[in-house]
Structure formats: structure tokens, C-alpha cells
Chains A and B, each alone.
Chain A
Amino acid sequence: MAPVLQVQNLSRRFGQIVVAHDLSFAVAHGECLGIIGPNGAGKTSVFNLLAGVIQPQAGRILLNGEDITSLSQDKRTSRGVGRTYQVPQPFGQLTAFENVLTAASYGGRLRGAKASERAAEVLALTGLSRKADLPAGGLPLLDRKRLELARAMALSPCLLLLDEIAGGLTEAEVHELIVLILAIKPSLAIVWIEHITHALSAVADRILAINAGTRIAEGVPAAVMADAAVQEIYMGAVLNVAAVG
């Protein structure tokens, strides 16, 4: 069976800034690929390439073996690419339920009662059932992150892109989120960008480390974390910041 996501030799630069250089990776159904890298390494840009916000200058993106490189963001969503934002972007005037219902009825292509059922289902899955009728704009951060995830799940995606979903949460909240992501993982493929590496290591099957849009290392979490090049670039950058600060 073809992997859900196949990225082949993806390249993109903005002037002198390289956000992706000859990147290739694949993610299978039921698998989670973590992406790490220092700030400005091109992680979010890689997501924007995968989601269709920006176009690559070279390379291809295949979803279930089908070339989606030139498809727009909304078409990719319709084909099963779900995405969460680093900073949650709920439709603030709509209730949590309406947020999820919109995703289920458009991206998820469900009608009437089926869309409502799916919406209720993902709200239950993400622990938001009791807050379903509250305006999404007023929810606290963890709930907005859950809602972000719920909205992506309502699409019944085959590929889920998580952008620093654990960022800004307390340790206990991060743990809750890990449990949740582990629960949904068997049903789809996940690409997860994260700075909180212990959270990533708990869920990811493999980790890809990038810097300046280029692959530094890839493998099981423990091996990547132990990699000398990763430690130098990733931790080195952190140490330098600490030294300057």
C-alpha cells in the first residue's frame, strides 16, 4: 500500500532564505512523523507547502499516490488534509459545535443529521461536549487547541498536520493532549511539528530534524535526539540564545 503522504525532492526559497531544500519523506497510515528544528528552520513553511498555502519551486507532493502539488488549499482539504494552526484560529462568533459542524458539512461532505452526528462525535473525542454551545472565541487556550483538533478531525482526514499543538500548554495539559493524539493516531497519518520534544517523542514513530529547510537527521526519536548534528544545531542554537540572553 502506498504511503498516505509522499514528499519528493521538495524545494522552496524566498530570495536568500531557504525554507525547503530537496526534502523527501513519507508517512504511512497509522504513523506519526515528527518534525523538529530550531526557530526559522522552515518547519512551518514545510507545513504551508503541504497544506497548499505556498507552492514549491521544485518537487512533488503525493497524497495516497495522487499528485496534489498544484492543488489549492481548499481542494487539498477536501481530499483529506486536515490542519491545525500553532495559534488556534476558531471562528470566534460561532459556537464550538458550529465550528466543527461547518468542517464536517463542507470538508467532511456530510449532510444534515450525519454532519451533526460527526460534529458531536469529534467534540466528545476531544472532550469538548460540555462546551459545545459556547462561542468559540471565549474558550481558554487548551479548549481552543482541542477545538482546532476537533475541527480538523471533523473532516475525517487521511492526513493530519499538527503545528505546535502542545505549545503554550501546562505539563498536565500536554499529557492530556498526548493521550488524545495517541487515540486518533491509528486511523490516519500524522505530521507533527513541535518544540516540546518529550511530547513528540511519546507519540512519533520517526522524527525528521531540519535546519535551513534541509534534512539533518531522520529516524526513531531516541536516535535522532542522540544525533551529534542535531544536538549541535538544535541544542547549540538554544544554548547560544541563552548565552546572549
Chain B
Amino acid sequence: MIWLETIANGIFLGGLYALIGLGLGFAFGVMRVVNVAQGDFIVAAAFIGLYLAPWVPINPILVIVPVAVIAFLIGIALQRLLINRVLGHDQIPQILLTFGVAIVLRNAMVAGFGANSQSIDVGAMRFLGFNLLGIRLGVLPAVILVIALLLFAALHLWLHRSRLGRLIRATADDYQVVQLQGVSYRRVFAIAMGIAMALSAVAGVLLAMRGSFTPYSGADRLLIAFEVVVIGGLGSFWGMFFGGMLLGITQLVALKLDPASGLMYGHIVFFIILILSPNGLAGAFRRVVLRK
């Protein structure tokens, strides 16, 4: 029973990890931009959430809505003011630029908020639990998984059903040719970065509700995001979701077996998958199931 509970908790955590990866993966999929500052933006979103949460009516978890809106606008500004200026065949300038943004952001947060560990207070919900098939599970982690699932599904539907969603898929295919549809790809890029940042911000706030964070947490968040994206298979939507699940489950199961170094096993699984299937779960799925 304890194992069932551990795996269920791993799935809960994995949903959140998938969401952390989604922002990075979405930006990469559409623009081929690797935003190294994503981890620090996730932490910055957690700080915004920390200060806004007491003002949110009904339930503190709804703070994800204003934080997502703010992050969307910051994403558009980031793309328009900075990243759009260094676009080109060479990806090194983008990586250096976002790396610089990450350093500035991290140090600004240390200076502004101090280096103490913080957590967003969700009130009584943090301690609520429910019974399912004889195991005891937390309400908050379950709610977070549902939010992650809803966001994945909503993004998937939006990309396939809406006018702008189709345009974003077209841009991901060939951003030069998008100009022949009368659209500036730079504008599409700005919207895509806004969405990527909004998704990451939601993940950052939810993570700060489950656990704690400091201004230095960005590197850990970025590592998780990278692992989720690579395990999933670069740019593969649902691959990322299962990538997050795999990481979450591995981490919690390993922590039970080896409390001293459980976190390391997540990285080991990442490493093994990278060796066995360099294009991740999606690549393995294509090879084995679809036989392509």
C-alpha cells in the first residue's frame, strides 16, 4: 500500500514537473529558442505569487491567474525587447543573452527579497487529505495535477482548433514562410514566449505552494525543465507530460528506497533514457509502436 501511495504521489509531482517543462519545451518547439532564464523566471513568478496570494479572493490557489497574466506580458516584453534582436541561424547569442538575464534576475531577487526560504501559504488546503482505494492522498497535490492536466489539454486543443493556434503551429514548422501569410513571425514569437512564460509561471507558483523556494532555486527548476523536455523528446507535447511523470515517480520511489540520495536517481533515469533513446520517449514511441 505504501508503494501505491508513493507512486500516486509521484504522479502528482510528475504532473507539476511536466508543467515546468512545458514552458521551456513550447518556446523551443515554436522558436528553437532555449530560454536559460526560464528557471529564474519560474522563481520570480513564485515571488509575485507570494505577494499577491493574500489579496486573492475565494482561494489562494487562484493566484495563478493574475501571475499568469503578468508573466504573459513579461514574456512578450522579453521577446520583443531582447530575444528578437539576436535571432538568427546561430543559437549561441540567444543562450548567452538568456543566461545573462538569468544572472541579473537571480541577483535582483536576492537583493530585493533576501535569500531566505519562502513558501506560498494556501491555508488549510495544504493539510487536507482524501482516501482513494484505501490510500491516503493530499488534496493540494491532486488539485495541482488536475491544473497541469487541464493546461496541457487546453494548450493542445487551442493549438489545433484556434486560428492563432494554427498560426503558431505553422510558425513552428517554418517561420520564414509564415511571412507569406501576411504575418510578422516576430509578433508570433512574442505571443509564443508570452504563453511559455505564463505556463512556467503557473508551474512556479504551484511548486511554491507544495514546497519552498529561495532566489537560488532557479537552477534546480531549469534542470527539471530540461530533463522533462529531453526525456519527452524535444518538442513532443505529450512526451513531455509522460517525461514529467517518469521523473516524479522515479524521484519519490527512489527517495523511499534511499532517503539520502533519492533525487539523484531522477537524473540517472534521465541519463539512461538519453543513452537508449536520444530523441526521448516520443522517439522511442515512434520507433517501437509506429515503426517509423
Interface residues of A (CB under 8 A from B): 51, 72-75, 77-78, 82-83, 85, 89, 91-94, 98-99, 101-103, 105-109, 115, 151-152, 155
Chain B, 155-203, CB within 8 A of any chain A CB: 163, 166-167, 169-170, 172-174, 176-185
Complex: how many Å from CA A151 to CA B178? 11
Given contact pairs A94-B166, A98-B166, A103 touches B181 in the complex (Cβ within 8 A): yes
In angstroms, how far is the closest chain B Cβ from the Cβ of A31? 22
- Least Cβ distance of B10 to chain A in Å? 32
Q: How far is the CB of B174 from chain A (nearest CB, A)?
A: 6
Chain B interface (Cβ < 8 Å from any Cβ of A): 163, 166-167, 169-170, 172-174, 176-185
Given contacts A74-B184, A102-B166, A105-B163, contact A91 B179 (CB under 8 A): no
Partner of A83, one of B166, B180, B185: B180
In the complex, chain B residues whose CB is within 8 Å of the CB of A101: 166
- How many residue pairs link A and B with beta carbons under 8 A? The number is 69
| Separation of A196 and B209 alpha carbons in the complex (Å) | 67
Residues of chain B lying within 8 A (CB to CB) of residue A77:
179-183
| A83 and B182 alpha carbons, distance in the complex (Å) | 11
Q: What are 14 A-B pairs at a CB distance below 8 A?
A: A72-B179, A74-B182, A77-B179, A83-B180, A91-B169, A91-B173, A94-B166, A94-B170, A98-B166, A102-B170, A103-B180, A103-B181, A107-B183, A151-B181
Contact partner of B174 (CB less than 8 A), chosen from A51, A82, A91, A115, is A91
B169 touches A107 (CB 8 A): no
**B170 neighbours in A (Cβ, 8 Å):** 91, 94, 98-99, 102
Closest to A93 in B: B173
* Complex contact B182–A107 (CB within 8 A): yes
B174 touches A106 (CB 8 A): no
Cβ-closest chain B residue relative to A154: B181
List 16 additional A-B contacts (Cβ < 8 Å) besides A91-B174, A102-B181. A72-B179, A74-B178, A74-B182, A75-B182, A77-B179, A93-B169, A93-B173, A94-B173, A98-B169, A101-B166, A102-B170, A103-B182, A106-B181, A107-B180, A151-B180, A155-B182
A89 lies within 8 A of B174 (CB): yes
> Closest CB of chain A to B120's CB: distance in Å?
38
Shortest distance between the CB of A68 and any CB in chain B (Å) = 13
| Docked-complex contact A74 and B179, CB < 8 angstroms | yes
How far is B185's CA from A89's CA once the two chains are assembled, in angstroms?
16
Residue pair A73, B180 in contact (C-beta under 8 Å): yes
What is the bound-complex CA distance between A72 and B174, given in angstroms?
17
A152 CA / B182 CA spacing, docked (Å): 11
Bound Cα distance from A53 to B182, whole angstroms: 13
Q: Report the separation of the CA atoms of residues A99 and B185 in the bound assembly, to the nearest whole angstrom.
A: 16
Would B167 and A102 count as touching, CB distance under 8 A? Answer: yes
Give chain B residues whose Cβ lies under 8 Å from the Cβ of A151: 180-181
Judging by beta carbons under 8 Å apart, are A94 and B169 in contact?
Answer: yes
Q: How far is the CB of A7 from chain B (nearest CB, A)?
A: 20
Pairs A-B, 10 closest by C-beta atoms: A107-B182, A77-B182, A91-B173, A78-B182, A73-B179, A91-B170, A74-B179, A106-B181, A107-B181, A89-B177
Residues of A within 8 A of B167 (CB): 102, 106
Partner among B172, B177, B183 whose Cβ is within 8 Å of the Cβ of A93: B172
> Measured between C-beta atoms, what is the minimum distance from A137 to chain B in Å?
8
Which chain B residues lie closer than 8 Å to A155 at the CB level?
A: 181-182
Chain B residues near A94 (CB-CB < 8 A): 166, 169-170, 173
Looking at the assembled complex, report how far the CB atom of A99 sits from the nearest CB atom of chain B, in whole angstroms.
8
Tell me the smallest distance from the CB of A110 to a CB of chain B, in Å: 10
B180 in contact with A72 (CB, 8 Å): no
Write the nearest CB–CB distance from B290 to chain A, whole angstroms: 14
Q: How far, in Å, is A37 (CB) from chain B's closest CB?
A: 23
Complex contacts, B181 vs chain A, CB 8 Å: 74, 77, 102-103, 106-107, 151, 155
User: Chain A contacts of B184 at CB under 8 A?
Assistant: 72, 74
Closest residue of B by beta carbon distance from A107: B182
Contacts of B173 in A (CB 8 A): 91-94
